Structure 1
Amino acid sequence: MAFRKFTIYDFKRFAMLVLNFMFGNGKCCVCGNSTFNGKICISCSKKLYDEAENSHCEKCRICGKSLISEEEICMSCREERILKNSDKVVPVFPYRLWAKTLLFEWKMQNQRNLSLLFAEICNSVIKKRISENIFIVPVPPRPGKIRSRGWDQIEELSEILKVKFGYKVLKLLERTEKNQQKKLDRKKRLSSKGKIYTESKLLKRLSSENSLPEQVLLIDDVLTTGVTVESCCEILKNAGISKVDVLSLFVVD
């Protein structure tokens, strides 16, 4: 299987992220204390690592959300199962309180110095709860996003995982719909299933050559209804990939 070689652009991009992370200054977006390593202080960074690695609460075996009084499967999946093609879903943080602030700063306020922190946390979670030897498939950005904003958070996260930690990244999916999912209510999100994503040229080629990996890890920033993840997993499974695990930085529970 052929992979794109590292380019000077890859290393320059990574170096800029590191410098931005190390020499940025301001206040921590979690606790408000002064920080000289980006938008989050060392103390809060440590708390994030600890929470990511020591989350022992029971999880739904289908969607990965925390169970309250249920056993094995949460009420949402019992009432209306959305995720049918994912083999395992691993959310890192619940989407509440400080987590909302972090995601907003990263995704909407273009605080790209958080990308390195999130990549390091993802790497730790992948090693502990999934597998080091796995192909990463990023959920693709909507058309025109990178051109208009200059970057995409999942694209950048995947690049850091590739350059710093050595993961193989396969861009097997493309997004066809320009509308933002976050602006749709649950009913409209569910009705959009299967209409947003499609196979990339790389996926079509690897499928025709019978050289697809048996297992991949789909990465996204936040799991809300599960429609995005299910749409992507269904495409990957239909193309011939046997096992599709999912890593989501945040989960709305």
Structure 2
Amino acid sequence: MTQVAFITGASRGIGRETALAFARAGFDVAISARTVQEGEPSAHRLCDAQGVPLAGSLDSTAAQIRALGREALVVPMDLLDSASVVAAGQAVLAAFGRIDVLVNNAIYQGNDLNASFMALQPQTLERVFKGYVLAPMLLTQRVLAAMLEQGSGVVINVTSGAGEGDPPVAAVDGGWGYAYGAGKAAVSRVSGVLAAELGGQGIRAFTLNPGVVSTDALKATIGERGVLALRNGIAPPQVPAQVMVWLATAEQAPRFQRRTIAAQAFALEHAIVADWRTEVIV
């Protein structure tokens, strides 16, 4: 039986590369995000420094998955719309009948996400709560119900160093703000709870910190100066993507639960990818 991976936030960046990595590993893949077709307008869409919406869409990711010979299911989902989140989980299960791996990668990424503390508006925190706490909980609950019925499943929650430590510089200088840090701190707490409560029922849950990854979204949210400030470790998105496939498939992976896995160091330590650090990252 072909296994199914459901990757959220798969229109670009880490999510897209993770979807492709699972397809290469033989999975059929369901993908979700707000942007289905290239250039589609949406509220809070992330833009570059010139105000141009970032490229990427579910349709383009799906085409790449199908080119690899795997089935792709496009599922529109807006983290700020709880009904669409629940509907997305139901749509994947209706189409495939099972979900073997859920990767909670999607986050709210509006341009207000890294506002400085004194400039932070209540509505931003409300969106962060919906996008980082409520939506992943609703989706994971729905998927876990099916995983428990089938007796197995893997949940991977993608966190960030912002949820586990202080910024290297102020938000105005390219560091992260309170809203983003608070959102990712919530993400960091999910997998340990799932492992403790459901580990005896065939559920495995992991927390993955990709580290600094060279994506357009990173540059749009913290700017080129922020990227330079964080360059003590930077990798292409294929690195965390391949680590997630390893966590979902490797026999020895379960022992790495109940901790935050630093994807870049982990990838090198376990020879999951070739060393990329001599390459030029743009």
TM-score, normalisation: structure 2: 0.30
The structure carrying a bigger helix percent of its residues is 2
TM-score, normalisation: structure 1: 0.32
Looking at both structures, which has the greater relative contact order when contacts are Cα pairs under 8 Å and sequence separation is at least 6? 1
